Amino acid sequence: MDSAQRIIVFNEGAEKMFGYAAGEVMGQPLTVLLPEHSRAVHAARIEEFGRSAIAARRMGERGEIAGRRKNGEIFPAEASISKVGPDTARVYTAVLRDITERKQAEAERTRLLERAETARAAAESARAAAESAERRAAFLADASALLDRSLDYETTLQNLAGLVVPERADVCFIDVVEGGATHRVASAAANDAMREIARQLHRFPRHSDEPYLTREAIVTGRSVLLADATRAALDPVTQHAQHLELLMALEPRSCMMVPLIARGHTLGAMAFVASGAARRYSPADLALAEELGHRAALAVDNARLYGAAQRATRARDEILGIVSHDLRNPLSAIAMCGSALDESLSTADDGVRYMVDTIRQSADWMNRLIQDLLDIASIETGHLAMERHRQDAAPLLAQLETIFAGTAAEHGVTLAIATSSPLAPVMADGERLLQVLTNLVANALKFTPAGGTIHVTAEPDGACVRFAVRDTGAGIPPEDLPHLFDRFWQARRGASERGTGLGLAISKGIVEGHGGSIHVVSQVGSGSTFSFTIPTAPR
């Protein structure tokens, strides 16, 4: 360029870079090769350079510049410039380098670095999330183990509050609703000062019409998250200024209150208080608190159900005690009087004798019912009395034949009893085992019509002896099979007489008390087979 910044030399490299032939730009101002927005600034810089004492500037010394090709494309470049001659006849020489490819490479490198950084951040976030999930899972597992240790829910909830602090809160309160009133059953705090404040907070009443920290969660059954537990946010949950000042003395930063809900009923609520700047609750923290509240509610509900069951069991045992003691005395008197009347009515008419027989049979029936009730209660509590010793099956089956031979003949039913020989002795209470067999045979007689047969067998079955009672009666409908061993359940059809509905349940309890098992196979129209196993006696 000359001193007026007109192009006087334009070499082949310039032609390739800008797309102009030398003849097209010779004598043209330099601005033809520059973007419009930089032309005035660039001309001023050259003039400033011309007036300065500097003879040359190296490539890239003034940073990146922009060029403009013939087709209008703007491209990045670096340039060096030098000057020779006096001011009036000065010549400027510029050497340019097109750095488009380098810029593209730098942009690609930057993009790849950004992508790598994004991937690294995502991996770090995933790792942190996985660690957080593991910590949460471990915390919930510890909480579940703690809640499962005892059915004393107040002690359990106090231990739970101690687990929450300091893992998830600086202060934890647990309130439970009983008899329409809310009681604080547990609390924990991170230090002695907070524990003293918590103790003072306990004295404030928690009625449905008084504000307190867990009230909204209990009344509405919905969780409350106070991400910023300011004085204004906590004022509605306090009863007066002193109450508020005590709560603020905990230096709360964030709070969560979650209800304890089980089987659709709100049993209480848990409050989590974070103090200082280290912890601020988020929706993720609330979700964890709600899961913990759900598990705590189940523990409270289970404990209450267990307590109710214990009270019901005690009440039942008291009633059974009355039944077994107070009713048996008059029943014995009725039975004795019935026997005395029977002996003295040798010449009485049939009507009177029928009434005497009915009295005696009814007394016997009530005695059996009382004994069945006592047996089923003993089975349920695991206290069924049994005296086990080596017992051969043959004498038991002989007794069974003696007991039922006459009754079977009256019903027109054949009673066939057989044992395999040799047969190992069993370890059993003989009277209880005979009780099971008599229950099964008595049931078979009820459902076997005249002309039918009842087979009673005993045979080896591995380390056990299998006893079986098979009849040729009407069979049992498939829908009835799952209920056969339920207490007080009776078949609705096919029986020649009704029972107590306890015989099979008692039989099952006796068999299982011996370490055996009882089963039934039946087909409507083809009869039924009840079988049970009793372990053999050790050598």
* pLDDT tens, residue by residue, 480-507: 888 888 876 666 555 555 555 688 888 9
Task: Say how far residue 185 (Cα) sits from the centre of its chain.
Answer: 24
The whole-number pLDDT of residue 491 equals: 62
317: which residues sit within 8 A by CB, 6+ positions away? Answer: 377
Give the containing element (helix H, strand E) for 52: none
Instruction: Find the helix packing angle between 430-447 and 393-411, rounded to 10°.
Output: 30
Helices (DSSP H) in 275-383: which residue ranges? 283-322, 328-344, 350-381
Instruction: Give me the residue spans of the domains in the chain.
Output: 12-98, 143-305, 309-381, 389-535
The whole-number pLDDT of residue 371 equals: 73
307: which residues sit within 8 A by CB, 6+ positions away? Answer: 151
* pTM of this structure: 0.52
The whole-angstrom separation of Cα 475 and Cα 277 is: 75
User: With the CA atoms of 249, 254, 255 and 256 taken in that order, what torsion angle do they form, in degrees rounded to the nearest 10?
Assistant: -170
- The CATH architecture to which 12-98 belongs is 2-Layer Sandwich (3.30)
Match 């069945």 to its residue by tokens: 372
User: DSSP letters along 454-499, please?
Assistant: EEEEEEEETTEEEEEEEE-SS---GGGGGGTTSTT---SSS-SS--
The whole-number pLDDT of residue 528 equals: 94
The whole-angstrom separation of Cα 98 and Cα 19 is: 13
Kindly report the number of other CB atoms within 10 A of residue 101's CB atom.
9
* Residue 2 structure tokens: 């000359």
The whole-angstrom separation of Cα 170 and Cα 282 is: 16
CA angle 73, 79, 81 (to 5 degrees): 130
Q: 182 near 175, Cβ under 8 Å?
A: yes
- The CATH architecture to which 389-535 belongs is 2-Layer Sandwich (3.30)
Bond from prior residue into 76 cis (ω within 30 degrees of 0):
no
The whole-angstrom separation of Cα 179 and Cα 70 is: 92
* Residue 115 structure tokens: 């992508």
Strand 74-84 and strand 224-226: the pairing is unpaired
Instruction: Name 224's bridge partners.
Output: 257
The whole-angstrom separation of Cα 487 and Cα 506 is: 8
The whole-angstrom separation of Cα 259 and Cα 522 is: 51
C-alpha separations of 336 from 359, 379, 504 in Å: 10, 31, 30
Task: Say how far residue 156 (Cα) sits from the centre of its chain.
Answer: 18
Q: 289 near 258, Cβ under 8 Å?
A: yes
* Residue 35, SS3 per DSSP: coil
Instruction: Name 167's bridge partners.
Output: none
Task: Say how far residue 322 (Cα) sits from the centre of its chain.
Answer: 43
The whole-angstrom separation of Cα 259 and Cα 238 is: 18
The whole-angstrom separation of Cα 95 and Cα 236 is: 77
Bond from prior residue into 330 cis (ω within 30 degrees of 0):
no
User: With the CA atoms of 100, 104, 109 and 114 taken in that order, what torsion angle do they form, in degrees rounded to the nearest 10?
Assistant: 130
| DSSP code of residue 228 | S
The whole-angstrom separation of Cα 106 and Cα 112 is: 10
495 Rama sector, left if φ>0, alpha if ψ -120 to 50, beta otherwise: beta
* Residue 423, SS3 per DSSP: coil
* Residue 188 structure tokens: 């924990």
Amino acid at 281: Y
User: With the CA atoms of 119, 124, 130 and 132 taken in that order, what torsion angle do they form, in degrees rounded to the nearest 10?
Assistant: -140
Q: 274 near 281, Cβ under 8 Å?
A: yes
- The CATH architecture to which 143-305 belongs is 2-Layer Sandwich (3.30)
Give the containing element (helix H, strand E) for 121: helix 100-147
* Tens digit of each residue's pLDDT (9 = 90 or more) over 150-207: 888 888 899 999 999 988 999 999 999 988 889 999 999 999 999 999 999 988 888 7
* Tens digit of each residue's pLDDT (9 = 90 or more) over 259-268: 999 999 999 9
- pLDDT tens-place values along the chain, 539 residues long: 998 999 999 999 999 999 999 999 999 999 999 999 889 888 888 888 888 888 888 877 777 889 999 999 999 999 999 999 887 788 999 999 999 999 899 999 999 999 999 999 998 988 888 888 888 888 889 898 888 888 888 888 999 999 999 889 999 999 999 888 899 999 999 999 999 999 999 888 887 678 999 999 999 999 999 999 999 999 999 999 999 999 999 999 999 999 999 999 999 999 999 997 768 999 999 999 999 999 999 999 999 998 888 887 777 777 767 766 667 777 777 878 777 777 776 665 677 777 777 787 777 777 777 777 777 777 776 767 788 899 999 999 999 998 898 889 999 999 999 988 788 999 999 989 999 999 999 999 988 999 999 999 999 999 999 999 999 998 999 888 888 888 766 665 555 555 556 888 889 999 999 999 999 999 898 899 999 999 999 87
Give the containing element (helix H, strand E) for 267: strand 265-275
The whole-angstrom separation of Cα 400 and Cα 417 is: 9
Q: Do domains 12-98 and 143-305 have the same CATH topology?
A: yes
The whole-angstrom separation of Cα 49 and Cα 433 is: 121
The whole-angstrom separation of Cα 441 and Cα 457 is: 12
Q: 392 near 434, Cβ under 8 Å?
A: no
* Residue 394 structure tokens: 């043959």
